[in-house]
Structure 1
């Protein structure tokens, strides 16, 4: 039995009917590499059963403390049923990418049963009309909760399921497992009372629960309070989210991203990814005549963990300007490079444990008030508050070597991330097998046209590839200034001045 940390429990307390902290990992396989060229559902079920002992969370459920006196505990699920957690479905014909995105989004949006281990795995067949994936591919969608595992550790689940070669490495029977008895209610009440008495601040738990870690913005606000960044203009994504998720993705070549990075001396691959995502967001908002004039948008990026683990503050987040005010893609990339070089990560300033905790508590209280205002006011009223950022961008770690499941080669790896009120757009970035995959997640009300956003992502990348082609033809390319020039008016502003109508992005 182990207790959830305050940070992990905070994700549970922040869950609502329209927003939860689910994380879904998406794996698509080419089963032509498997023995006999096919993988059966029963094979996957048996394969998973043989590996359950490697990750305790697969067979542990939450045990709440009566009266809410303390954080919940992880205990063995005496009624664990593997076939409840592993489901088998198929897409209807034609089985194309859009159908897959819709199905994956619906699965991701549904809340997990908090009385069972916090995970579900879906084997999805019928993927017969994917343009860039082999016919007969199948997918695995593994859904879990941030209370169970951090984003930085989710790749461990992928590694647990897979082998580095097509040949199976374990074919014997599963290890025997017997559940430990859960503690009694009186024991939990006594333990919670003792801990609350030893730490008076824990008596204020109801407020802390509501305010703590409205993931991921609360930790970012702690940093905001220290750096006091300028007010940011709100966009459609800084609104109350609905329970209906949308997801899309675009795959790019690692080598092409490396070429984009080299367009600006000193730029990194992360800089190039931010520039491409910023260009996509600029195009999408401009397509809807909503691009803020003269104001750049920003993203929240994970920046590691608080320096003192005893503070229980969890991962920290930092701001990164996307420089969407820059119409010139090279200037945008150079500006992103310059901001990274000029502003070292705030975590390196090493706040002391007590200082970090106090900042986190203040930020959580501020975030609670801000979120309540968001929930109470809709539409234009939300635009009166400066948002903490306009999106989140998270790198999901991926295995360095090709991976195999029951002999089927993993050909695609990505993730669907949680969103929350005020932060209704999340980018997941994965790098696997020579590919960079960028996957935006939002909700249907804020992004009713995810295919259009995916096109904006593609066109933003193609714009940079066009510049790469020019540099190859003309080695003496123009030099990019290290100082950011005066922002140019957005296309939407020009249309407003000229009276012209809307044009399609890209």
Structure 2
């Protein structure tokens, strides 16, 4: 058996019907030229031959008696491949929007904890003639970087595939679950080891806390007021900071990786800063449409990997920092630089704690209490009145820089599908793949029914940054007074792979939240120039929209 760490188990204990804790991806595949076979059957055989390459495919949970401690992973000796690899056919006409709506519904359902916590769906019937692959794996088993390693097990670098050595035969134990006495003994031993580990880390934790209280080097204004500001974790309230339901909305958008890198290099910021600036500008436009943009800047919760180089273990090794999105600044370049400053400061603080952040901590007797608290917080409405810590979750995962293949079919895109949570109804996760930046937006459908508008605004914000990059020198401090570029930029290089992103769809609604404030000023519609390819081209964001009940 293999014990779940405290961090891994947290994703199990905090999971509710409204807040499933699995992550996934949407890939659209180009079948080989002239292919006449049954791709679903080929995909099943393909997975059977590779399941042993990653533990996540062959292990399941063994729960502790009375939920007194964290579960353990045990080998599943009877994996039902027909359950884990499923076939779905979209109704006609099979548009990209239909595909993404169906993925949102699949992502809203809980996984069966009596089986290995993964599911693959082969989706055909697409209008384009392509085939889609939607995957989901429970977050208790992997984080973003571990997911990339799992991808290496199931994807190939050539359409002909690679020779996979079969697993060594093992003696079957014929035990469906472990005995209660065996589980209880293992729980007590693991808890004792966790307390010893925590005790040994106390001196280092004390030193880290002491260094946090000291003013940072080269930071002006290290008086008491500036120090208090560094500990200000409050975020303004927005429509995203509410209790959520189990309904989901999903949208995927693509931006060329080369353009994102060029913006970062031109203005002297990181690629992550450009990603956050793109999301910030989109949210600023989206909230401004309905007069819901707060005076105080939005705050993003950004996961930070604690994984050592070369560590490919299938577990969670991450923490989170808070970054100001500078949404109170109108100027895009000022906003970008402010995000860079906030991100640098947060990472500096995190580096002081990185060595002492525990991903495995004692939780004896706590699981049942945590599960009850998660349900109470979500259903009681406390999240709707408590001050939010972050307004949106933003994550950036580095993926493969080369084309990959699944069962001989070319993977054309890699849209992440992450987690919406109580108090943070919107999650934006980005994965780089083969010269692309694939943005996956997942949200509670009731809180954000018009998620495609945010996706379109992201494309428009990226285009704005591209135009400013051409109009301003690299050391420009602000876009103010720069004027418009003298000539429109030519079309950006188009990625070789097609982009299966859905068009913006105007969602029906019974009542707008603020009807008087729904008019969009001229010139603020997120019309996308030819610089960023998205299939098909979205319509301009509607002048009036509703965010309440909407059909999926």
TM class by smaller structure: 0.7 to 0.9
Q: What is the aligned partner in structure 2 of residue 140 from structure 1?
A: 133
From 255, 259, 270, the counterpart of 1:252? 255
Would you say the 8 A contact 1:289–1:502 is kept in 2? Answer: no
Q: What is the aligned partner in structure 2 of residue 162 from structure 1?
A: 155
From 499, 503, 520, the counterpart of 1:503? 520
Q: What is the aligned partner in structure 2 of residue 292 from structure 1?
A: 294
Q: What is the aligned partner in structure 2 of residue 377 from structure 1?
A: 381
Q: Which whole-Å CA distance do the structure 2 matches of 1:89 and 1:174 have between them?
A: 30
Q: What is the aligned partner in structure 1 of residue 237 from structure 2?
A: 234
Task: State the shift of 1:466 in Å.
Answer: 2.6
Q: What is the aligned partner in structure 2 of residue 324 from structure 1?
A: 327
Would you say the 8 A contact 1:2–1:75 is kept in 2? Answer: yes
Q: Which whole-Å CA distance do the structure 2 matches of 1:183 and 1:341 have between them?
A: 48
Q: What is the aligned partner in structure 2 of residue 14 from structure 1?
A: 14
Report whether the alignment pairs 1:124 with 2:96.
no
Q: Which whole-Å CA distance do the structure 2 matches of 1:173 and 1:30 have between them?
A: 27
From 146, 152, 163, the counterpart of 2:145? 152
Query: Could you list the runs of 5+ residues in structure 1 that have no partner in the other structure?
Result: 129-134, 203-223, 483-498
Report whether the alignment pairs 1:432 with 2:449.
no
Gap change, CA 1:275 and 1:39, over 3 Å in 2: farther
Query: Could you list the runs of 5+ residues in structure 2 that have no partner in the other structure?
Result: 198-226, 480-515, 526-552
Alignment of 1:463-502 (within 5 A): 463-471=464-472, 479-480=476-477, 502=519
Q: What is the aligned partner in structure 2 of residue 210 from structure 1?
A: none
Task: State the shift of 1:350 in Å.
Answer: 3.4
Would you say the 8 A contact 1:126–1:138 is kept in 2? Answer: yes
Would you say the 8 A contact 1:375–1:421 is kept in 2? Answer: no
Task: State the shift of 1:107 in Å.
Answer: 0.6
- TM-score, length-normalised on structure 2? 0.73
Would you say the 8 A contact 2:289–2:517 is kept in 1? Answer: no
Q: Which whole-Å CA distance do the structure 1 matches of 2:228 and 2:196 have between them?
A: 22
Task: State the shift of 1:304 in Å.
Answer: 2.3
Aligned residues: 448
Report which stretch shifted further, 245-254 or 193-202: 193-202
Q: Which whole-Å CA distance do the structure 2 matches of 1:368 and 1:12 have between them?
A: 12
Gap change, CA 1:38 and 1:459, over 3 Å in 2: farther
Q: Which whole-Å CA distance do the structure 1 matches of 2:78 and 2:422 have between them?
A: 35
Gap change, CA 1:322 and 1:90, over 3 Å in 2: same
Q: Which whole-Å CA distance do the structure 2 matches of 1:436 and 1:420 have between them?
A: 24
**Greater percentage in helix:** 1
Q: What is the aligned partner in structure 1 of residue 55 from structure 2?
A: 56
Q: Which whole-Å CA distance do the structure 1 matches of 2:414 and 2:517 have between them?
A: 42
Gap change, CA 1:366 and 1:459, over 3 Å in 2: farther
Task: State the shift of 1:231 in Å.
Answer: 2.3
CA offsets 1:419-450 (integer angstroms, 9 cap, x no match): 21111111110111111111211111110112
Task: State the shift of 1:91 in Å.
Answer: 1.0
Q: Secondary structure at the match of 1:192?
A: helix
Q: What is the aligned partner in structure 1 of residue 181 from structure 2?
A: 186
Task: State the shift of 1:333 in Å.
Answer: 1.2
Q: What is the aligned partner in structure 2 of residue 97 from structure 1?
A: 96
Task: State the shift of 1:386 in Å.
Answer: 2.1
Gap change, CA 1:245 and 1:168, over 3 Å in 2: same
CA offsets 1:214-240 (integer angstroms, 9 cap, x no match): xxxxxxxxxx99952252211111110
Alignment of 1:273-292 (within 5 A): 273-292=275-294
Q: Secondary structure at the match of 1:260?
A: helix
RMSD: 3.6
Q: Which whole-Å CA distance do the structure 2 matches of 1:477 and 1:225 have between them?
A: 33
Would you say the 8 A contact 2:290–2:518 is kept in 1? Answer: no
CA offsets 1:311-366 (integer angstroms, 9 cap, x no match): x99421111111111111121112222334455432211367499999x99xx999
Q: Which whole-Å CA distance do the structure 1 matches of 2:457 and 2:242 have between them?
A: 21
Q: Which whole-Å CA distance do the structure 2 matches of 1:199 and 1:332 have between them?
A: 43
Report which stretch shifted further, 334-343 or 87-96: 334-343
Would you say the 8 A contact 1:322–1:336 is kept in 2? Answer: yes
Gap change, CA 1:432 and 1:342, over 3 Å in 2: same
Task: State the shift of 1:113 in Å.
Answer: 0.2
Task: State the shift of 1:96 in Å.
Answer: 0.8
Q: Secondary structure at the match of 2:159?
A: coil
Task: State the shift of 1:63 in Å.
Answer: 0.7
Alignment of 1:297-312 (within 5 A): 297-305=298-306
Q: What is the aligned partner in structure 1 of residue 27 from structure 2?
A: 27
Q: Secondary structure at the match of 1:127?
A: coil
Gap change, CA 1:458 and 1:371, over 3 Å in 2: farther
Would you say the 8 A contact 1:77–1:179 is kept in 2? Answer: no
